[in-house]
Amino acid sequence: MHGTRLPSSVVPNPRSISIRIARDPNDLMLVTAIRSAVYLAEQDCPFEEEFDGNDMVAAHFIGYVGNEPAGCLRVRFFGDFAKVERLAVRHQYRRSRVSFKLVQASVDYVKRKGFRKIYGQAQDRLVDFWAHFGAKPLGHNRKITFSDFSYTEMLLEIEPGPDAITLDSDPYVIIRPEGDWDRPGVLDASAGRAVTSPLRDLALTDR
């Protein structure tokens, strides 16, 4: 589902699209740059409304066209649903399918995490875009307006994938890097070492 960043010496097809999860501060800088270009510069959204304090508690997807970061999307999690939001695509890439690929990657990711509902707030002009994935207006008839746009509540009902992660999943799968559950991680490799922690024989004390 998620592409990997190519070495700088590798020149990808300039029209190829790849999606991956943000993993470090540099990736979050890319997300910030893309959303600033789209929401702050194009839509004149105030900074404090766009960067709302939720970026450090979310999963972020970055979409590439060739080797260039072209778009991003954010996912947050609640009790029984996930919220897909902050889809942004740089203007020069809007004729590509990077927006569709970003949303599909996020839907696949949410299915893998075992959720059955995805909630979103779509700008009214983009309701048909979200309907492409099976999302429908929620039906509460609650009007939402923020950052100078009118929004429609959308709901996408899904079935968890057959490989959805549960409490019965391999415990090493559960601790692998987010979104990269099918590839052994560094902690899988560490399991081959003997237990040699210097703390193993220390008594616990309260002070």
pLDDT at position 146 is 85
Q: Which residues of 119-131 are buried (b: 16+ CB within 10 A; e: fewer)?
A: bbbbbeebeeebe
Confidence band of 4 (pLDDT split at 50, 70, 90):
very low
pLDDT at position 149 is 86
* Digit-coded pLDDT (tens) for 124-155: 999 999 999 999 999 877 889 988 889 999 99
**pTM of the entire predicted model:** 0.85
Confidence band of 6 (pLDDT split at 50, 70, 90):
very low
Q: What mean pLDDT comes out for the span 77-94?
A: 97
pLDDT at position 15 is 85
